[in-house]
């Protein structure tokens, strides 16, 4: 495998100005005629033209209408004798490919009888020979020809300019994209589909056609996605002045897709999971995901498509920025300010449970990596979620208006270009010349080049005589692979001080300095820095890193009393939730570290009282309560430990859940009754929060019933399951029964399957719930093996494979990490099996043992042996090989 290095970037030796593609679509053998106009890049020394190709059958190459000499260097097509000088020339390449055999789902493939493409990052080379790199931008015209009965709908990027009949029952459509684009944004779809159509007029008075294409029968499940699309168009214009630049914007759903969705210009292709949603079949979480993924892909139209990446090392230029934009969009769609905070907490929870471990493991990389073997492995939580946090820090440093100004300047400078992360951040700094960002730009840029999660250590001292409060912040960052030494970061630390009654203390740094209000952002840019607040009348409780103002670990020693004060009173909802998490984490870690068997009652009375107060609180909203009352995950607890015993963590957390269930029994009963039955289903955040709290309450009540043997609540849960008017309530009732190990769960599972058989996305939930259920005596692995034998199980469908295998290996640590190593053996078998036909999905699964070096024995040795078994397999894909090699390094 070849390692690609960022520092080796060189501009392309040729430019491709126009591409005229003709497809004769046939699942077995598709013919592709690619006519390109190229010219030499005058800024680069003369050299041969080397076109990328993969799994193509080459039939013919013509230069300016005549035969020409060429050779194949591996899979690369090399043309050496091209016209000298800067005159454009025409190249015609005729190839065939086999879409039906394409199980990797990259390039042109067939899903349920429909043709789809996936070209990002390097899939276009599987369609035709090309300069498959994002800095080569061309104008595309595309003609599609196919059997009219089987493939009545023929779509590509841009505008439909011609269509008609051909002989032999075939027909054609010609599409022209008015915008230049890199080939990774090319798309075609051909199949039997129906569409929901919506005409809209945007601010400028322009008319646009929005369309969502799905299989016949799914149309009524597209209303929410269409609403999300309309809101996205309105929001991007209102918040950032970015209009829709297309007459026609299409979304097409497929059930075979490696990722969530793809932002092809004017023709987004989506995993059905992020398009289809009806109250009867989709949960609140699904509805919320549909909104954010539709937004995300739409926002790429500017951040990614109009301005794209110079090379794939710059991936976070478009992904981090677009995740930030979709997070802001989802927050702005919330009617209540408290719902914004809930969204922020959810986003941070993802970052800390998925990205922090990545940043501490063998695959750690900066948001702008320096090397890669397989770029698909770098579509990571670091590039996406940490990338978004870095953009969020930019907004914190320049302000909301300054950020909008910076984005405006970025587009003024770079519209139509392929650029770098440096170009982006420079535009932000130039638009905000007096900001801390501009003043300390080189230091801020370390966020782009350094991997790892910084730790900010906070130590405070109150001087009653001086009425001053000094806060010393110090920062460090552990070594990551290839980066031993880290330079200090520029870290915005938003904070407030709270007195014992919870009242905010006015902030002032030095007596001659201005009053700062009750919330202030300090800029930490040295290894150690002390900030002294004056006129502080009583010893305060510090509320630091409000809103999670930087992607760091905050190491601060707060007493239980201080945390309880913050939990009860902090005006910052994030830190209020965080105080509850810290209390629970402290209790969990104490129980995990204790000698001998885990304590039977790990939770303290103070903690239980505080949870009861939150649950019964008359002002707090239900969604926030649900977050506070959910214990930190097993993965998050594991990350706090140097040596991890997953079984013990699982046992401790389960005991904590049971104790919380029993101690608050009457409160859970009240909460369930007060929050169930919300009337007609609405997916808004407030109603969703009520359903979430009712669902958690029901789980707790079933859990308590397991301990006391009462059949009452399991019976009620089954009834609630049967009577449910929407999928959220139905699924939560099922979850309550399954996760508490109730015998009635089997009946409910069978009913659920019978009710929804044939609805793939719902059946995915059915599989995932069972594979992710809490382990009781090692029962989950045999259940997973059984599920793989189920008639509905399909390994080749990524959603289905994820629903069973990933739910077990990646999301169920208590069941996966077994004393007998059988979970790891299962994992290694599945990685190898998947790798034979879909390396991208296999490589994701291969990440499940990233943190094996932290495991206690016997897990550690067994895990290493399983990884070594995968490594020993000949002919592994580059994707899996890179993950496994790094893991063993
Ligand atoms: N930009 C899209 C990336 C993507 C992708 C990458 C590799 C293989 C398959 C893929 N499907 C989509 C997704 C996004 O961030 O919007
Ligand atoms: Zn994206």
Residues 68 and 186 in one domain: yes
Ligand 1 mean position, distance from CA 270 (Å): 10
Question: Which of 263, 271, 308, 379 gets mutated to test ligand 1 (max ligand atoms within 8 A of its CB)?
Answer: 379
Q: Measuring CA to CA, how many Å separate 192 from each of 210, 217, 664?
A: 19, 12, 54
Ligand 1 mean position, distance from CA 786 (Å): 32
Smallest CA-to-CA distance from 607 within 568, 633, 550 is with 568
Q: Whose CA is nearest to atom 1 of ligand 1?
A: 262
Taking each helix axis from N to C terminus, what angle separates 665-675 and 685-708, rounded to the nearest 10 degrees?
Answer: 140
Active-site residue flag, 297: yes
Smallest CA-to-CA distance from 815 within 849, 776, 872, 855 is with 776
Ligand 2 mean position, distance from CA 292 (Å): 11
Question: How would you class 510 by CB atoms within 10 Å of its CB: exposed for 0-12, middle for 13-18, buried for 19 or more?
Answer: exposed
Would you say residue 102 lies in a domain?
Answer: yes
Atom in ligand 1 nearest the alpha carbon of residue 300: 16
Closest listed ligand to the CA of 376: 1
Residues 327 and 435 in one domain: yes
Would you say residue 237 lies in a domain?
Answer: no
pLDDT at position 863, please?
A: 98
State the Cα–Cα distance between residues 272 and 261, nearest whole angstrom: 9
Would you say residue 234 lies in a domain?
Answer: no
State the Cα–Cα distance between residues 396 and 491, nearest whole angstrom: 10
Kindly tell me if the per-residue pLDDT of 715 is higher than 90.
Answer: yes
Closest listed ligand to the CA of 325: 2
Q: Whose CA is nearest to atom 10 of ligand 1?
A: 259
Ligand 2 mean position, distance from CA 325 (Å): 10
Q: What is the residue whose two structure tokens read 């949870």?
A: 611
Ramachandran bin of 74, using left for φ above 0, alpha for ψ from -120 to 50, beta for the remaining angles: left
Would you say residue 484 lies in a domain?
Answer: yes
Partners of 14 in the β-ladder: 40
Determine contact, residues 55/106, Cβ cutoff 8 Å. no
Per-residue confidence band for 707, with pLDDT thresholds at 50, 70 and 90: confident
Ligand 2 mean position, distance from CA 651 (Å): 38
Backbone angles phi, psi at 45, to 5 degrees: -55, 145
State the Cα–Cα distance between residues 870 and 851, nearest whole angstrom: 16
Rg of the chain in Å (alpha carbons)? 28
Q: Count of CB atoms within 10 A of residue 163's CB?
A: 13
Would you say residue 579 lies in a domain?
Answer: no
Which distant-in-sequence residues (6+ apart) come within 8 Å of 466 by Cβ? 534
Q: Measuring CA to CA, how many Å separate 140 from each of 159, 177, 187?
A: 11, 6, 11
Backbone angles phi, psi at 74, to 5 degrees: 65, -120
Kindly tell me if the per-residue pLDDT of 194 is higher than 90.
Answer: yes
- Beta-strand ranges (E) seen in 80-187 are 89-97, 107-111, 114-118, 137-147, 153-156, 159-165, 170-176, 181-182
The helix/strand/coil state of 347 is helix
Per-residue confidence band for 42, with pLDDT thresholds at 50, 70 and 90: very high
What average pLDDT does the chain have?
98
CA torsion sign for 334, 338, 340, 345 is negative
Structural domain ending residue among the three candidates 432, 449, 466:
449
Q: Whose CA is nearest to atom 2 of ligand 1?
A: 262
- CATH code for the domain in which residue 409 is found: 1.10.390.10
- Domain residues for the domain of 477 are 455-555
Structure tokens at 774: 């809490």
Atom in ligand 1 nearest the alpha carbon of residue 123: 8
Closest listed ligand to the CA of 319: 2
Kindly tell me if the per-residue pLDDT of 679 is higher than 90.
Answer: no
Tens-digit pLDDT profile for residues 630-650:
999 999 999 999 999 999 999
Tens-digit pLDDT profile for residues 230-272:
999 999 999 999 999 999 999 999 999 999 999 999 999 999 9
pLDDT at position 854, please?
A: 98
State the Cα–Cα distance between residues 64 and 214, nearest whole angstrom: 41
Kindly tell me if the per-residue pLDDT of 465 is higher than 80.
Answer: yes
pLDDT at position 673, please?
A: 98
- CATH code for the domain in which residue 809 is found: 1.25.50.10
Tens-digit pLDDT profile for residues 595-621:
999 999 999 999 999 999 999 999 999
Atom in ligand 1 nearest the alpha carbon of residue 375: 7
Partners of 271 in the β-ladder: 254
Q: Whose CA is nearest to atom 15 of ligand 1?
A: 319
Structure tokens at 260: 């969530």
Which H helix or E strand runs over 392? Answer: helix 387-414
Kindly tell me if the per-residue pLDDT of 287 is higher than 80.
Answer: yes
Q: Whose CA is nearest to atom 13 of ligand 1?
A: 262
Atom in ligand 1 nearest the alpha carbon of residue 105: 9
Determine contact, residues 615/664, Cβ cutoff 8 Å. yes
DSSP secondary structure code for residue 481 in this structure: T
Structural domain ending residue among the three candidates 169, 192, 215:
192
Q: Count of CB atoms within 10 A of residue 561's CB?
A: 10
Residues 420 and 542 in one domain: no
Residues 461 and 507 in one domain: yes
The helix/strand/coil state of 804 is helix
Kindly tell me if the per-residue pLDDT of 571 is higher than 90.
Answer: yes
Residues 356 and 476 in one domain: no
Structure tokens at 219: 């149309």
Which H helix or E strand runs over 837? Answer: none
Ligand 1 binding pocket (C-beta < 6 A) is 118, 120-121, 258-259, 261-263, 296-297, 300, 319, 376, 379, 840
Residues 72 and 166 in one domain: yes
Neighbours of ion ligand 2 (CB under 5 A): 319, 322
Percent of the chain scored above 70 by pLDDT? 100
**C-alpha dihedral, 211 to 216 to 221 to 224, nearest 10°:** 0
How does DSSP assign 530-572, residue by residue? EEEE----SPPEEEESTT--SSSEEEE---HHHHHHHHHH-SS
Question: How would you class 661 by CB atoms within 10 Å of its CB: exposed for 0-12, middle for 13-18, buried for 19 or more?
Answer: buried
As a residue count, the chain comes to 889
Determine contact, residues 52/128, Cβ cutoff 8 Å. no
Question: Which of 259, 323, 840 gets mutated to test ligand 1 (max ligand atoms within 8 A of its CB)?
Answer: 259
Atom in ligand 1 nearest the alpha carbon of residue 263: 16
Kindly tell me if the per-residue pLDDT of 275 is higher than 90.
Answer: yes
Q: Whose CA is nearest to atom 11 of ligand 1?
A: 259
pTM over 0.90: yes
- Which own/partner contact pairs does 42-45 have at CB distance under 8 Å and 24+ positions apart? 42/86, 43/11, 44/10, 44/11, 44/12, 44/13, 45/13
- CATH code for the domain in which residue 502 is found: 2.60.40.1840
Q: What is the residue whose two structure tokens read 């370390």?
A: 446
pLDDT at position 668, please?
A: 98
Would you say residue 624 lies in a domain?
Answer: no
Instruction: Look at 320 and 511; give whichever has higher pLDDT.
Output: 320
Structure tokens at 776: 């009781």
Question: Which of 54, 122, 261, 841 gets mutated to test ligand 1 (max ligand atoms within 8 A of its CB)?
Answer: 261
- CATH code for the domain in which residue 73 is found: 2.60.40.1730
Per-residue confidence band for 186, with pLDDT thresholds at 50, 70 and 90: very high
Smallest CA-to-CA distance from 26 within 113, 153, 131, 142 is with 113
Tens-digit pLDDT profile for residues 719-743:
999 999 999 999 999 999 999 999 9
Q: Write down the ipTM of this complex.
A: 0.99
Backbone angles phi, psi at 461, to 5 degrees: -140, 130
Residues 436 and 330 in one domain: yes
Residues 383 and 464 in one domain: no
CA 794 to chain centre: 24
Kindly tell me if the per-residue pLDDT of 64 is higher than 90.
Answer: yes
Q: Whose CA is nearest to atom 5 of ligand 1?
A: 120
Which H helix or E strand runs over 19? Answer: strand 14-24
Determine contact, residues 169/189, Cβ cutoff 8 Å. no
Q: Which of 122, 297, 578, 634 is catalytic?
A: 297
Structural domain ending residue among the three candidates 126, 157, 192:
192
How does DSSP assign 440-454, residue by residue? THHHHTHHHH--S--
Residues 122 and 58 in one domain: yes
Q: What is the mean pLDDT of residues 550-567?
A: 98
Partners of 532 in the β-ladder: 470
Atom in ligand 1 nearest the alpha carbon of residue 297: 16
Residues 428 and 471 in one domain: no
State the Cα–Cα distance between residues 622 and 694, nearest whole angstrom: 9
Residues 110 and 40 in one domain: yes
Q: What is the mean pLDDT of residues 678-698?
A: 95
Omega before residue 601 within 30° of 0, cis: no
- Beta-strand ranges (E) seen in 745-888 are none
Kindly tell me if the per-residue pLDDT of 399 is higher than 80.
Answer: yes
Which H helix or E strand runs over 844? Answer: helix 839-846
pLDDT at position 678, please?
A: 75
Residues 491 and 529 in one domain: yes
How many structural domains are present in the chain? 4
């Amino acid at each position: 495998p070849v390692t690609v290095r960022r520092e080796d970037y060189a501009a392309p030796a040729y430019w491709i100005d126009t591409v005229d593609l003709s497809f004769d679509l046939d699942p077995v053998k598709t013919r592709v005629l690619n006519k390109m106009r190229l010219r030499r890049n005058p800024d680069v020394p003369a050299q041969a033209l080397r076109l990328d190709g993969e799994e193509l059958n080459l039939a013919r190459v013509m230069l300016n209408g005549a035969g020409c000499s060429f050779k194949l260097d591996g899979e690369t097509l090399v043309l050496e004798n091209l016209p000298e000088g800067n005159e454009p020339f025409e190249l015609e390449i005729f190839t065939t490919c086999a879409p039906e055999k394409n199980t990797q789902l990259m390039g042109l493939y067939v899903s349920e009888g429909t043709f789809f493409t996936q070209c990002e990052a390097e899939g276009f080379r599987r369609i035709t020979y090309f300069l498959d790199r994002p800095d080569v931008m061309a104008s595309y015209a595309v003609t599609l020809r196919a059997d009219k009965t089987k493939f009545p709908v023929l779509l590509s990027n841009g505008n439909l300019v011609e269509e008609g009949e051909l002989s032999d029952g075939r027909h054609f459509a010609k599409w022209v994209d008015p915008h230049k684009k890199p080939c990774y944004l090319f798309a075609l779809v051909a199949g039997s589909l129906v569409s929901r159509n919506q005409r809209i007029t945007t601010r400028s008075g322009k008319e646009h056609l929005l369309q969502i294409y799905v299989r016949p029968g799914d149309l009524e499940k597209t209303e929410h996605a269409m609403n999300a699309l309309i809101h996205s168009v309105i929001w991007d214009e209102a918040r950032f002045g970015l209009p829709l630049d297309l007459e026609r914007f299409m979304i097409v759903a497929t059930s075979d897709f490696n990722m969530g969705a793809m932002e092809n210009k004017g023709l987004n292709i989506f995993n059905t999971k992020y398009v289809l949603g009806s109250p009867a079949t989709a949960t609140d979480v699904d509805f919320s995901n549909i909104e954010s993924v539709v937004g995300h892909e739409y926002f790429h139209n500017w951040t990614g498509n109009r301005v794209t990446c110079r090379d794939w090392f710059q991936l976070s230029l478009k992904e981090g920025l677009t995740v930030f934009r979709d997070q802001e969009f989802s927050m702005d769609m919330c009617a209540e300010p408290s719902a914004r905070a809930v969204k922020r907490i959810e986003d941070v929870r993802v970052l800390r449970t998925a990205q922090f471990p990545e940043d501490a493991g063998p695959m750690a990389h900066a948001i702008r990596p320096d090397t890669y073997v397989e770029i698909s492995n770098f579509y990571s939580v670091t590039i996406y979620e940490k990338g978004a946090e870095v953009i969020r820090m930019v907004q914190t440093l320049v302000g909301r208006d300054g950020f909008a100004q910076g984005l405006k300047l970025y587009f003024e400078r770079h519209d139509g270009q392929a650029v770098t992360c440096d170009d982006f951040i420079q535009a932000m700094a130039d638009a905000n010349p007096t900001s801390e960002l501009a003043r300390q730009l080189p230091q801020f840029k370390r966020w782009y080049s350094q991997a790892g999660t910084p730790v900010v250590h906070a130590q405070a001292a109150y001087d009653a005589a001086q009425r001053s409060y000094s806060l010393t912040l110090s920062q460090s960052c552990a070594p990551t692979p290839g980066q031993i030494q880290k330079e200090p970061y520029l870290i915005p630390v938003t904070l407030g001080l709270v007195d014992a009654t919870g009242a905010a203390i006015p902030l002032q740094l030095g007596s001659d300095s201005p009053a700062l209000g009750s919330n202030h952002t300090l800029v930490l840019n040295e290894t150690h820095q002390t900030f002294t607040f004056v006129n502080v009348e009583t010893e305060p409780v510090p509320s630091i890193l409000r809103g999670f103002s930087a992607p760091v670990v905050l190491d601060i020693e707060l007493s239980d009393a201080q945390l309880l004060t913050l939990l009860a009173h902090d005006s910052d909802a994030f830190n209020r939730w965080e105080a509850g998490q810290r209390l629970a984490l402290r209790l969990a870690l104490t129980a995990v570290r204790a000698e001998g068997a885990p304590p039977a009652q790990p939770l303290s009375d103070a903690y239980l009282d505080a949870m009861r107060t939150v649950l019964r609180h008359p002002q707090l909203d239900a969604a926030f309560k649900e977050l506070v009352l959910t214990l930190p995950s097993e993965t998050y607890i594991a990350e706090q430990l140097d040596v991890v015993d997953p079984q013990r963590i699982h046992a401790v957390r389960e005991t904590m859940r049971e104790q919380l269930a029993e101690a608050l029994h009457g409160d859970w009963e009240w909460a369930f009754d007060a929050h169930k039955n919300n009337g007609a289903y609405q997916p808004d955040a407030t109603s969703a929060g009520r359903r979430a709290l009712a669902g958690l309450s029901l789980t707790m009540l079933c859990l308590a019933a397991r301990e006391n043997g009462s059949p009452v609540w399991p019976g009620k849960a089954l009834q609630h399951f049967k009577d449910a008017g929407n999928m959220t309530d139905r699924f939560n009732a099922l979850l309550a029964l399954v996760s508490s190990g109730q015998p009635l769960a089997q009946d409910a599972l069978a009913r659920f399957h019978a009710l929804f058989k044939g609805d793939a996305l719902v059946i995915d939930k059915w599989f995932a719930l069972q594979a992710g259920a809490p382990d009781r005596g090692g029962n989950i692995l045999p259940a997973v093996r059984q599920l793989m034998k189920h008639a509905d199980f399909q390994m080749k469908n990524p959603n289905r494979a994820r629903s069973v295998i990933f739910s077990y290996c990646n999301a169920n640590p208590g069941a996966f990490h077994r004393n007998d190593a059988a979970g790891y053996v299962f994992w290694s078998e599945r990685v190898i099996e998947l790798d034979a036909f879909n390396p991208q999905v296999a490589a994701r699964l291969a990440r499940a043992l990233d943190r094996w070096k932290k495991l206690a024995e016997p897990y550690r040795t067994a895990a290493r042996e399983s990884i070594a078994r995968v490594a020993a397999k000949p002919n592994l894909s580059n994707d899996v090989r890179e993950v496994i090699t790094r893991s063993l390094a």
